[in-house]
Amino acid sequence: MNIKIKESELIKNSKGEYFNFYIDEKNNLLFNKFDNKNNNIISLSEIEHNILDFSVIIDEKDKIQLIYLIENGNLIHCTYTQKKWIKQSIFRLNTKSNIYKHITLFMSNNSVNIFYACANLVNINLWSIEQITKNSSNWTKKTVTSIFSKKILAPFYIDSDNLGNIHLVFRTNERNSTHIYYTFYNVFIKKWSQIIEKISLTKTNNKFPYLFIDSKNNIHILWSSLEDKDYILRYKKLSPGGQSKFKWKKINLPVINNCTYTPIMSEINETLKITYLKDDEIGCLNSMDYGETWILIDKIKLNSPSIWFLKYSSNSKKKYLNNKTNNFYAQISDKMYLFFNEKDQKKINFDKEEIINLNNKDIQIEEKDELISIHNSDFMELKKNILEIKETIEQIIAHSNIIEEELKLMKEKLMSTEDQKHKKGFFKFK
């Protein structure tokens, strides 16, 4: 089956209502509203004409925030309140000389961040990822990193941890191969790391990078690696604690071949999921130990070649803790169907509970007498509070180590500069 991918951005508000934003064939920016019961389309609205790109999120106050770029170079920021759009032009980009791709609106510590990739028409193989942020009433722009690519630039992906640090993964060309790289923005020193780490190690083509950070601040990167003329799904993880602390760890997945579409990851009630798309099949892998081991739990045969790839933002009240989804694969016509969405949650929770019970029988027997005198809900609340305190302490220690590494790097660079100055005192250079 020749799959045709359409892209859009999906919002879910606190009432459980869905809004799907997309650009049509005439470059009009539209959005559909779905009901919160059966996911049927109940309205269609047009926002703007002559759109090049856009991005949308929903904030903690249940306001939809939208960024879009018009052909004339105006970058518009607007909010949707009381069924009206309040628009403001915030920046003027040079659309006559440059190409702009993959605009991404991102909230971190209640601050608006706008990311995009751009290249000059004179040299469309050299791209820059740029960031626009708002300081008080002013918008400022900075370059995050540069990328070598062909005319069609692969998407980059952004996520944040519990402290507000921003993490970035992207693909770049190197001679006869392509590789996956990672970097991050440190919220404490307010700078992007000067260390850009190569994630893929094989001397071959690597495509379709994806980044996800779970509720424990583990950083997960997925991608496809060309091996023996076949694209195989690969995975690495970086943890803020444990034996592999701050070291990228390669973890084997069940073999998923012909993986020529972007894999995605999500978390539902402490269970991680990988959704992959290939040929006429979409499947799901589960991990109940935050990425250490994975099992294939489901595969669905597709009955239509039309698949939507959705960026997802939600402010809906969660029934369970530790839920996070940044993207979905979906089928949309008059009704919307999200593959492997939150409705699988009860089944996952039941299976997970069975496994935990089997693995921890002895522990449960020893704790049984202690639990008799404590009301179950009080115990769970106390346990939750202790875990949160423990996580906060681990995060502070983890990020102090990151700052220490940054300072060490800066010190090494200063020493290197002093050495160069010293050498120049003894040698003459042409």
Which tens digits make up the pLDDT trace of 134-187?
Answer: 877 788 999 999 999 987 899 999 999 999 999 999 999 988 899 999 999 999
Neighbouring residues of 392: CB distance < 8 A, sequence distance ≥ 6: none
Residue 15 lies in a domain: no
Beta bridge partners of 314: 12
365 part of a folded domain? yes
Which of the residue ranges 109-123, 197-211, 379-393 would you say has the lowest mean pLDDT? Answer: 379-393
pLDDT at 428: 37
Identify each DSSP E strand in 152-293 by its residue range: 157-160, 166-174, 177-186, 191-192, 197-198, 206-213, 219-227, 230-238, 249-250, 264-268, 271-278, 281-287
pLDDT given for residue 34 in this prediction: 92
Q: Is residue 292 part of a domain?
A: no
- For residue 347, the model assigns a pLDDT of 40
Q: What is the dihedral of CA 154, 287, 305, 331, to 10 degrees?
A: -100
- Rounded to an integer, the average pLDDT of 107-118 is 91
Q: At what angle do helices 345-359 and 361-372 cross, to 10 degrees?
A: 100
CA distance 405 to 55: 34
Element (H, E) at 123: strand 123-135
Residue 402 is assigned to a structural domain of this protein: yes
Residues 130 and 139 sit within 8 Å (Cβ to Cβ): no
Q: pLDDT at residue 38 above 90?
A: no
Q: Is residue 227 predicted with pLDDT exceeding 60?
A: yes
Per residue in 308-360, pLDDT (tens digit) is: 999 999 986 554 567 899 999 999 988 999 999 865 444 434 344 433 343 44
pLDDT tens-digit readout, 243-301: 878 899 999 999 999 999 999 999 998 999 999 999 889 999 999 999 999 999 999 99
- DSSP annotation string for 39-69: -BEEEEEEEESSEEEEEEEE-TTS-EEEEEE
Total number of domains constituting the chain: 1
Give DSSP secondary structure letters for 311-361: EEEE-PPPSSSS-EESEEEEEESSBEEETT-GGGHHHHHHHHHHHHHHHTH
In a domain, 278, yes or no: no
Mean of per-residue pLDDT scores for the chain = 84
Any domain includes 116: no
User: Residue 61 — pLDDT band, cuts 50, 70, 90?
Assistant: confident
Task: For 177-197, write each residue's pLDDT tens digit.
Answer: 999 999 999 999 999 999 999
Looking at the DSSP bridge assignments, the partners of residue 404 are: none
Specify if 106 maps to a domain.
Answer: no
Average pLDDT rounded to a whole number, residues 347-374 = 39
What confidence tier does 415 reach under pLDDT thresholds 50, 70, 90? low
Domain membership flag for residue 369: yes
Q: Which domain holds residue 405?
A: 361-424
DSSP state of 228: T
Helix (H, G, I), strand (E, B) or coil at 134: strand
